[in-house]
Amino acid sequence: MSWDFETDAAFQKELDWIADFVRDEVAPLEHVLGSPWNIHDPRFELLVRPLQREVKARNLWACHLGPELGGPGYGQVKLGLMNEILGRALFAPIVFGAHAPDSGNCEILAHYGTPAQKERFLKPLLENAVVSCFAMTEPQGGADPNVFTTQAVRDGDDWVINGQKWFASNARYAAFYIVMAITDPNLSAYKGMSMFILPADMPGIEILRNIGVADDPEATHAYLNFNQVRVSADNMLGHPGEAFAVAQVRLGGGRVHHAMRVIGQAQKALDALCERALSRSSQGSLLADKQMVQEKIADSWVQLEQFRLLVMRTAWRIDKYQDYMKVRKDIAAVKATMPKVLHDIASHALQVHGSIGVSSEMPFVGLIVRAYQMGLADGPTEVHKVTVARQLLRDYTACDDLFPSYHRPTAAAAAGEKFRALLG
Ligand SMILES: Cc1cc2nc3c(=O)[nH]c(=O)nc-3n(C[C@H](O)[C@H](O)[C@H](O)COP(=O)(O)OP(=O)(O)OC[C@H]3O[C@@H](n4cnc5c(N)ncnc54)[C@H](O)[C@@H]3O)c2cc1C
């Protein structure tokens, strides 16, 4: 028997330290600084760098990476417990060297990069001396790669790239972009696209505009244009046609890490909901005593616990199989569930807070918008539900008559015969 829901005492001590540090030192940063990816802001040097040094000294930097890349090599279960805490503060992922998209970009550079690419791009990224960007989505569609048109054409020793990318997060701060482009238009996108590493200052790369999410004052999602961008063949990451194989390495872990952080965000909303219910009275009794508020609290807790168990079981399965393809259904299920959990719990918390719940002084509107982002970034919810259903259906066969196998009259008759024989 190895079902176990306990955390080792030694690791719990680390988690307790992380929780205190995030609450006291990291969470306040979001009230002062803008985007966590804006490492060029002089205040970042003053306020964030010392915290990063403290995390490194405690050996908690980039915990998703193994010792060969400067991390402690935590498995996904440990990362899950840690990321739940990091999810509670906007700056926590960058303070702990675990911020997307750089964490995923580090993984693919480590996995597929040549020694020269690792030296030039991975090394500074691991240290957060630079930040990076991942550009796959195009203006005409992200959920279906077959509509992509950005193309790289071979010219001697170089590739020449033309096209546009859309919603490339943090491109404005990035030192380099990892870009997917068609290299063989005769094949499907899944076989005919390749990955390139493009330094941001290359001639021909232009940010047409930066797009913000909701009323975020700092627009950070870039609409990019590539006009005759000439890049050496040495800048290809992986082999020609391997873009989707490379992307899977970053997306598998990345989606689960987002989900782990969403647990922390939803927990934050649930904590606020409970505190509010216990502190506000209306019509002679506490909100906590009103059944419709109790229902919101109970539903939120149950939804969060269900989700947390699904995420942690998925983390455990990734550790067990060490193969994202074997855990595809679980990861897709987590990805498809996460937006609704965050949306529902943040909405309950908002409602019970009344007018201040919708105000800019509370995080709930932001969390609800975040829930919608989680249902789009790394692929829309619908597409992940399709994956769950397809993977599940693989384990079934069509029934050969009107009845499912358990309920066929022939099966019932055979069972009746068996028991009649036993009963004499
Ligand atoms: C905050 C944020 C950050 C992002 N960061 C990045 C980034 O850094 N790099 C990057 O490359 N991309 C990024 N994206 C883009 C993201 O990957 C795309 O938004 C996503 O893949 C969907 O593509 P789309 O927006 O073009 O929607 P579309 O492909 O146009 O789909 C629109 C809608 O159609 C429906 N739909 C689509 N396909 C199906 C289907 N098969 N079945 C049923 N319904 C379907 C869904 O409701 C879907 O939401 C980001 C997006 C957001 C919101």
157 inside domain: yes
pLDDT at 311: 97
CATH number at residue 27: 1.10.540.10
Q: Classify residue 213: in a domain, yes or no.
A: yes
Same domain, 272 and 386: yes
- Count structural domains, the chain: 3
Residues 45 and 154 in one domain: no
Q: With 0-12 CB in 10 A as exposed, 13-18 as middle and 19+ as buried, what is 110?
A: middle
- Print burial letters for 366-382: b (CB count within 10 Å at least 16), e (below 16): bbbbbbeebbebbbbbe
What does the pLDDT look like over 327-371, one tens digit per residue? 999 999 999 999 999 999 999 999 999 999 999 999 999 999 999
The residue out of 54, 77, 99 marking a domain boundary is: 99
Rounded Cα distance, 208 and 223, in Å: 5
Would the CB of 336 count as within 6 Å of ligand 1? no
What local confidence, expressed as pLDDT, does residue 418 receive?
82
Looking at the structure, do residues 327 and 263 belong to the same domain, yes or no?
Answer: yes
pLDDT, residue 65, reads: 87
Domain end residue (candidates: 99, 116, 149): 99
Give yes or no: residues 263 and 376 share one domain.
Answer: yes
337 is a domain residue = yes
User: How many Cα neighbours within 13 Å face the side chain of 397?
Assistant: 4
Using most ligand atoms within 8 A of CB, pick from 136, 167, 390 the residue to mutate for ligand 1.
167
What's the pTM value of the predicted model, to 2 decimals? 0.94
Q: What is the CATH number of the domain that holds 146?
A: 2.40.110.10
Average pLDDT, the chain: 94
Q: Are residues 203 and 269 located together in one domain of the fold? A: no
Q: Which domain holds residue 155?
A: 132-237
H helices, E strands: number in the chain: 15, 10
Which CATH number goes with the domain that contains 302?
A: 1.20.140.10
Q: Which of 237, 266, 297 is the last residue of a domain?
A: 237
Angle CA(35)–CA(39)–CA(42) in degrees, nearest 5?
Answer: 100
Angle at 417 between CA 415 and CA 418, to 5 degrees: 65
Structure-token pair, residue 6: 């306990």
Rounded distance from Cα 158 to ligand 1 centre (Å): 31
3-state secondary structure of 383: helix
**pLDDT at position 400:** 73
Q: Measuring from atom 16 of ligand 1, which residue has the nearest CA?
A: 377
How far apart are alpha carbons 86 and 96 in whole angstroms? 8
Domain assignment present for residue 399? The answer is no
- Ligand 1 pocket mutation, candidates 137, 147, 164, criterion most atoms within 8 A of CB: 137
Q: What is the DSSP string of 202-229?
A: -TTEEEEEEE-STT-SS--EEEEEEEEE
Is residue 120 a part of any domain in this protein? no
261 inside domain: yes
Whether residue 241 has its Cβ less than 6 Å from ligand 1:
no
Structure tokens at 418: 């068996």
- Cross-strand bridge partners of residue 197: 178
> Roughly what angle, to the nearest 10 degrees, separates helices 49-57 and 9-21?
170
Claim to verify: residue 214 and residue 298 sit in the same structural domain: no
Task: Report residues of the chain scoring pLDDT below 70.
Answer: none
Residue 114 lies in a domain: no
Q: Strand, helix or coil at 161?
A: strand
Pairing outcome for strands 281-282 and 236-237: unpaired
Co-location of 251 and 363 in the same domain: yes
Residue 406 placed within a domain: no
Residue 58 CB neighbours (<10 A):
13
Rounded percentage of the chain residues whose pLDDT exceeds 70: 100
Ligand 1 center to 383 CA (angstroms): 9
Shared-domain flag, residues 16 and 94: yes
**185 with 268, same domain?**
no
Q: Are residues 200 and 230 in the same domain?
A: yes
Contact 303, 269 (CB under 8 A): no
Q: Do 249 and 388 sit in the same domain of this protein?
A: yes
Residue with tokens 């046609």, as numbered in its chain: 241
User: Nearest 5°: phi and psi at 128?
Assistant: 60, 30
266 in the same domain as 225: no
